[in-house]
Amino acid sequence: MDDVKLLVTEADFDPGAEIALLSAGAGDSGALTTFIGLVRGATDGVSAMTLEHYPGMTEREIAKIVAEAQARWTLGRVTVIHRVGRLLPGARIVFVGVAARHRAEAFAACEFLIDWLKTRAPFWKLEETATGDRWVEAREADDKRALRWES
């Protein structure tokens, strides 16, 4: 698991440093893809968001999802960082980075990881708005995106 970095943390991350780490250990990888999720801005009337998770199970589920990706594609280094706690609009929430031999695997594995992370890893978002707090509802569209990988 030296090739895998998993982190659930309140702290922000440095995307440049994470990309440097992924590419430094690339070995025979020829492609590196990343996904970064952000707190959507004020257009939704959201002034802040608090991410809650299930310590222990979160890390286990992310490790399982990464193992599943490694079973499907030949991957180099993989990094998944997910923040928890209170975040403001524009803040980085999640980083997924995948190195692979060719771009097709790198793109596919990165999309698979974020799709499954969204529907399997036990995180919940509580939004703060002018009219009070509200829990983000799970989206059917996210379930459908994750289920595409079942076939």
Q: Which residues are at the interface with another protein (CB under 8 A)?
A: 37, 51-54, 56-57, 60, 82, 93-94, 114, 117-126, 135-138, 142
- Two tokens at 133? 């707090």
Containing H/E element for 83? strand 75-83
Least separation in angstroms between CB 47 and another protein: 18
Q: Which is nearer to another protein, 1 or 136 (CB)?
A: 136
Q: Cβ closer to another protein: 23 or 119?
A: 119
- Distance, in Å, from the CA atom of 22 to the CA atom of 6, rounded to the nearest integer, reads 12
Q: Please identify which residue in the block is written with the tokens 């803040």.
A: 91
In the complex, the smallest distance separating the C-beta of residue 128 from another protein, rounded to whole angstroms, is: 14
DSSP string across 101-140: SSHHHHHHHHHHHHHHHHHHS-EEEEEEETTEEEEPPPPH
The least distance separating another protein from the CB of residue 50, rounded to whole angstroms, comes to: 10
CB-wise, 14 or 142, nearer to another protein? 142
Q: How near is the Cβ of 28 to another protein at its closest, in Å? A: 30
**Helix, strand counts (H, E) of the chain:** 4, 8
> Which of 29/93 has CB closer to another protein?
93
